Amino acid sequence: MSKKEKIKKSDSGQGVDLKDRTGSKNRVQPPKKYKCVMFNDDYTPMDFVVAILQIVFHKSSAEATRLMLDVHKKERGIAGIYSKEIAETKCETCKHMAIKAGYPFLVGIEEE
């Protein structure tokens, strides 16, 4: 459709052009999701990582242990997938807990 076809004269006769919007698509996109990724280091104890997974990410003891072993063996693991704001908040909470405990624990977010 050309520009000429999209613009039509108004019925008021005042010479005001209106844009025809009947063909436009108003689709709402779902929000992007972000992964909370935990990275392995040689200093943070495994028990601390399990505790973080249970407290911050609400994982069961068995699931937290499995995720901790994933991080340990594969150098990284996904603690959860959330909206951007929630993922950022959870990562910041983990970082503050690690700093308070004196560990260099690293966690970040990645777009899914």
Q: What is the pLDDT of residue 15?
A: 67
| CATH fold group of domain 33-111 | Ribosomal Protein L30; Chain: A, (3.30.1390)
The answer to whether residue 4 scores a pLDDT higher than 70 is no
- Tell me the backbone φ, ψ of residue 72, rounded to 5 degrees: -65, -45
pTM of the complete model beyond 0.85: no
The answer to whether residue 94 scores a pLDDT higher than 70 is yes
Q: What is the pLDDT of residue 26?
A: 75
pLDDT digits 0-9 by tens, 7-55: 555 455 566 666 666 655 678 989 999 999 999 999 999 999 999 999 9
Q: Domain coordinates of the chain in residue numbers?
A: 33-111
Exposure of 33 in the CB half-sphere (CA atoms within 13 A): 8
Write the DSSP symbol of residue 105.
-
